[in-house]
Amino acid sequence: MPQKNLIVLVGPTGVGKTETSLKLAEYFRAPIINADSRQIYKGMTIGTAAPTEEDRKRVTHFGVQFLNPGDYYSAAQFELDVMQLLEELFLKHDYVVLSGGSMMYIDAVCNGIDDIPTVDAETRKMMLERYEKEGLEPLVRELRILDPEYYRIVDLKNPKRVIHALEICYMTGKPYSSFRTNKKKERPFRIIKIGLKRDREILYERINNRVTKMLEDGLEDEVKALLPYRGSNALNTVGYKEMFAYLDGKMTYDEAADKIRQNSRIYSRKQMTWFKRDEQIQWFEPEQVQDIISHIVRYEG
Residue ranges at the known binding site for substrate: 13-18
CA distance 131 to 137: 9
| Helical packing angle, 159-172 and 121-134, nearest 10° | 130
Say if residues 264 and 204 touch (Cβ distance below 8 Å): no
Residues marked as binding? 11-18
Please tell me the total number of residues recorded for the chain in this structure.
301
Binding residues for ATP: 11-18
d(CA 103, CA 26): 25
| Three-state secondary structure of the chain | CCCCEEEEEECCCCCCHHHHHHHHHHHHCCCEEECCCCCCECCCCCCCCCCCHHHHHHCCEECCCCECCCCCCCHHHHHHHHHHHHHHHCCCCCEEEEECCCHHHHHHHHHCCCCCCCCCHHHHHHHHHHHHHHCHHHHHHHHHHHCHHHHHHCCCCCHHHHHHHHHHHHHHCCCHHHHCCCCCCCCCCEEEEEEECCCHHHHHHHHHHHHHHHHHCCHHHHHHHCHHHCCCHHHCCCCHHHHHHHHCCCCCHHHHHHHHHHHHHHHHHHHHHHHCCCCCCEEECCCCHHHHHHHHHHCCC
C-alpha to C-alpha distance for 220 and 169, rounded to whole angstroms = 38
